[in-house]
């Protein structure tokens, strides 16, 4: 049995539409709705609803808090935590910043730690949210320990991952894709 820890932080992937105001905002986590759409054989998922923020509003303290929750979930090589892998739902605007912070604060994690997000919210037509969540859950089960960005059919290891705004995806410059 695989034990996956899923940490939600908000971002576009979890934005919901408010009909009264006509806005898309992070109000609450919708990860459980998303998970009900997936079939994850032999996998338990512990969802931690850490925060519900647009990543443009994340602070250094928020990033440290994410790292602390990941560290608690994975434990150490000497004293393993309860999880085999971690997936973090995150806004794409600053996902790369958080990945770099995790690399510095969680050097050589004992399990894969995967960050993913979406360019379009789960609730919208043609959203990439469910695809990216599915890919992240799968990648977390097959990648070696490390910090990764997983989206749009690719897993990119940190450090050095950036958001390519023109292409609407993540890239690792000067690396084969």
Top CATH class of 2-171 equals alpha beta
Q: How far apart are the C-alpha atoms of 5 and 72, rounded to whole Å?
A: 11
Read off the pTM: 0.86
5-45: pLDDT as tens digits: 999 998 766 666 666 777 666 666 667 777 777 777 788 88
Closest by Cα among 40, 107, 16, 34 to 70: 107
Q: How far apart are the C-alpha atoms of 67 and 101, rounded to whole Å?
A: 8
Closest by Cα among 12, 6, 35, 2 to 113: 6
Is 163 a residue whose pLDDT tops 70?
A: yes
Dihedral sign for Cα 151, 154, 155, 160, please. negative
Inter-residue contact 50 to 93 (CB < 8 Å): no
pLDDT of 106: 94
The domain spans of the chain are 2-171
Is 118 a residue whose pLDDT tops 90?
A: no
Is 104 a residue whose pLDDT tops 90?
A: yes
78-97: pLDDT as tens digits: 777 778 999 999 989 999 99
């Amino acid at each position: 049995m695989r034990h996956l820890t899923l940490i939600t932080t908000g971002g576009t992937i979890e934005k919901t539409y408010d009909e009264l105001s006509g806005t898309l905002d992070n109000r609450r986590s919708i990860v459980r709705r998303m998970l009900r759409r997936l079939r994850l054989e032999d996998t338990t998922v512990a969802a931690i609803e850490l925060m519900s923020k647009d990543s443009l509003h994340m602070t250094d303290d928020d990033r440290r808090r994410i790292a602390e929750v990941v560290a608690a979930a994975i434990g150490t090589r000497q004293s393993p935590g309860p999880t085999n892998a971690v997936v973090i739902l995150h806004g794409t605007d600053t996902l790369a910043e958080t990945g770099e912070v995790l690399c510095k604060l969680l050097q050589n994690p004992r399990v894969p730690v995967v960050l993913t997000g979406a360019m379009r919210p789960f609730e919208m037509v043609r959203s990439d949210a469910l695809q990216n969540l599915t890919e992240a859950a799968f990648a977390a089960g097959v990648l070696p320990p490390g910090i990764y960005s997983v989206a749009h059919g690719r897993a990119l290891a940190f450090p050095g991952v950036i958001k390519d705004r023109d292409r609407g995806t993540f890239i690792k410059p000067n690396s084969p894709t």
